[in-house]
Amino acid sequence: MTQQTQVTGWTREEMAQRLAQDIANGSYVNLGIGIPELVAKFVPEGRTFIYHTENGLLGMGPSPAEGEADPELINAGKRHVTANPGSAYFHHADSFAMIRGGHLDLSVLGAMQIAQNGDLANWSTGKPGAIPAVGGAMDLVAGVKQVFVMTQHCTKTGDPKLVESCSYPLTGRGVVDRVYTNLAVIDVTPDGFQVVELCPGVEFETVQELTGAPLRPASE
């Protein structure tokens, strides 16, 4: 694996930018805590996305200017945000009614593991002694129309994150539609992982080598 792990591929920003291209104008989007939040920086020209944060705001805007933060205007990651024109506040039951009721178009989440059948593990290592914390991840994958995962292709120790079946506790079964990694864009299909696009300069064989399940190459 020594050779392959030197393949870096897309940066996080490039991953976010690539993912943003696949979001239709007018979409209602929930961006998970962490890397997925970067997507908001790369909205393609001419499109508007409306961001939902599950703690009760639709129309979330960027971080506030220095000194203008309200400690009670935060996102799901508990970071200070703003509210765009046309936004709305609501309580938690209404917020998750949006999620569970299929009203959101897209959820972008990080992942520990994605299985070839779309199973997702992103909330717990299952290690004894760990403090379990699930937040809204299970609700999002169960309710939102499309689920995109945005993640490094491998773990920090070089293990594949795209696998035949998850060894970590699941967040949901068969819920992932598409995966954006630093190496490729990969669909989850009834036939398993299907490469949609490779990072320029990255070979299919390299990606396959770093993936724990069979990949189907992009059709020409």
Partner 1 sequence: MINKRVLNPAEAVADIADGSSIMIGGFGEAGSPIELIHALIDQGASDLTVISNNTGSGEVGLAALLKERRVTKVICSFPKTLNSTVFPELYREGFTELELVPQGTLAERIRAGGAGVPAFYTPTAVGTPLAEGKEFREFNGRGYLLEHGLTADYSLIKGLTADSHGNLLYNKTARNFAPIMAMAADVTIVQAASVLEPGEIDPEIVVTPGIFVDRVVEVADPAYESELIAAGVSYP
Report the alpha-carbon distance of residue 95 to residue 179 in Å, rounded.
Answer: 25
Q: Which residues of 171-192 are buried (b: 16+ CB within 10 A; e: fewer)?
A: bbeebbbbbbbbbbbbbbeeeb
Report the alpha-carbon distance of residue 78 to residue 73 in Å, rounded.
Answer: 9
Region of 73 (left: φ > 0; alpha: ψ -120 to 50; beta: rest) is: beta
Contact present, 76 and 110 (Cβ < 8 Å):
no
**For partner 1, the closer CB: 5 or 125:** 125
Report the alpha-carbon distance of residue 70 to residue 162 in Å, rounded.
Answer: 39
List binders of partner 1 among 121-160 (CB under 8 A).
124, 126, 129, 131-139, 142-143
Given 56, 64, 110, 160, the residue binding partner 1 (CB under 8 A): 56
Task: With contacts defined by CB under 8 A, name the span among 12-20, 42-50, 152-160, 204-212 that binds partner 1.
Answer: 42-50
Task: With contacts defined by CB under 8 A, name the span among 11-19, 36-44, 70-78, 155-163 that binds partner 1.
Answer: 70-78
Residue from 13, 45, 54, 66 carrying the catalytic annotation: 54
Q: Could you give phi then psi for residue 92, rounded to 5 degrees?
A: -65, -35
Is 54 catalytic? The answer is yes
Given 16, 18, 52, 148, the residue binding partner 1 (CB under 8 A): 52
**For partner 1, the closer CB: 133 or 200:** 133
Q: How far is the CB of 213 from partner 1 (least distance, A)?
A: 19
Binding site residues, partner 1, CB under 8 A: 25-26, 28, 46, 48, 50, 52-59, 70-74, 78, 83-104, 119, 124, 126, 129, 131-139, 142-143, 169-173
